[in-house]
Structure 1
């Protein structure tokens, strides 16, 4: 990533170029990325290809001002952090299902950033932490999104908890972005993937979160949930623009 692309990426998330790769800088970049770049799966329902190539990620997230899901968001953020001098490793994770069982390997991509100590960085899980988590501590860690914890799991893995609920299990082995390609393809094409079964676009806000799913706009404000049904395609497209900064020519639709 050259200086022009670095500056464009930083402008996309409203950040200045840091003078040093420090924990405070990492924390600020993490939060600014979450606040600016939506978690969304619109490409799947617009018939757009999903590529994990570096140029394609930069084009989508920075030039076209879109979002993505974990492989894209954390993949692109890793490229930016490395260009800024951070030591970044890509980690595979298995996501816990609602019934408490684990999903498949490479179900999720998260980052380990070694900067003074090891940090778990994740801007690609939807509602999750606003700030990086200490990987080496099993103590509860307070975050604007709640209390989180990283605990030892079998085989050298780590379980990430939100409150008392396990969220995903991290493997310690560093991976390459291309390792996630097959699962990214499955997530974006299989009828068994939850990403193919619904449309979502979501961002945190100062008081909660805003999510657009189909024609349903859901806002959480200070813990209270408000749902609005949008009446037309024009209103849906205008909401993507006004609430998420995403310009679309057509409404994403789930194939039935």
Structure 2
């Protein structure tokens, strides 16, 4: 994935990455982590009644130069541009969110990065208990510790990979996927649904999240949740406080 206005140096500056990036597995891990800790997951445009643009140049302008965040297509799309600039091969994959009561379509987007003979799942844009570093498909069945959190990659009865997160002592399904590549244009309809449909969670309420080394800060509707290790502090946010909260907690402005 490429954009005419993508400049690798500007991207690295945006995510606070001061080293020379490398194209091995450790380099991809460092890059993904730097983006996760600096670019928030957010749906402010959807809440403003806008349809999110998937034009690569618009994503670059929004996240790098306007210092915004985005949801999965935008932030993972930006990460894909960085991988392309570094000559790293990857596939774009559709994933099915699994934390809803009803079965949902494959509306989430992730990346499968190819490093030698190994493939690594990368995701910088999952608004729930998302990965904090890549997971190798060869790590299936292993409990993988990332900071204070644990993840598990398993197969289900359909032969799909399932990502699970350990939340309050229980393994909860996050999303599932197969390894069949998709094209960028394939996400235009899921993006339209997530930007406009009244049943889409992004249309219903604010969802803004910033990952931290030891937890995450989440704005869900009018509730601000600060989750650090096993501790969770919840406070209400009034409409009058929203701008201040967005700027203070997420470095964002309406």
Cα distance in 1, alignment partners of residues 16 and 231 from structure 2 = 28
Distance 1:51 1:17, change over 3 A: farther
Q: Which residue of 1 aligns with 2:147?
A: 144
* Stretch of structure 1 that moved more, 74-83 or 147-156: 147-156
Residues in 2 aligned to 1:120 and 1:74: alpha-carbon distance in whole angstroms: 11
Work out which of the residue numbers 229, 233, 238 in structure 1 matches 2:244. 238
TM-score scaled by length of structure 2: 0.88
After the TM superposition, which residues 63-102 of structure 1 pair with which residues of structure 2 at under 5 Å, given as runs? 63-99=65-101, 102=103
Task: Assess if the C-alpha contact under 8 Å between 1:129 and 1:145 holds in 2.
Answer: no
1:90 CA drift (Å): 0.4
- Distance change in 2, residues 1:52/1:232 (3 Å): closer
1:224 to 2:225 alignment: no
- What residue is the counterpart of 2:120 in the other structure? 119
Structure 2: how far apart are the matches of 1:246 and 1:44?
15
| Cα pair 2:50 2:195 within 8 Å, conserved | no
The normalised TM-score by structure 1 is: 0.88
Q: Give 2:175's match in structure 1, choosing from 153, 158, 168.
A: 168
d(CA) in 2 for partners of 1:38 and 1:157?
28
* SS of residue in 1 equivalent to 2:248: helix
User: In structure 1, what is the equivalent of residue 212 of structure 2?
Assistant: 205
Unaligned stretches of 5+ residues in structure 2: none
Q: Give the structure 2 partner of residue 56 of structure 1.
A: 58
2:99 and 2:5 map into 1 onto residues whose CA distance is 41
In 1, Cα distance between equivalents of 2:225 and 2:22? 38
How far has the Cα of 1:124 moved from its partner? 0.6
SS at match of 2:10: helix
Cα pair distance change 1:203/1:89, threshold 3 Å:
same
1:155 deviates by 5.1
SS in 2 for 1:209: strand
Q: 8 Å contact 1:156–1:172 — kept in the other structure?
A: no
State the alpha-carbon separation in 2 of the partners of residues 24 and 169 from structure 1: 24
Q: In structure 2, how many angstroms separate the alpha carbons of the residues matched to 1:113 and 1:26?
A: 9
1:22 alignment partner, one of 6, 12, 24: 24
What is the CA RMSD across the aligned residues, in angstroms? 2.0
Q: Following superposition, which runs of at least 4 residues in structure 1 exceed 4 angstroms of deviation?
A: 1-4
In the aligned structure 2, how far is the partner of 1:177 from the partner of 1:3? 18
Distance in 2 between the 1:128 and 1:207 partners? 13
Q: State the match for 1:188 in structure 2.
A: 195
CA–CA distance in structure 1, aligned partners of residues 210 and 133 of structure 2:
15
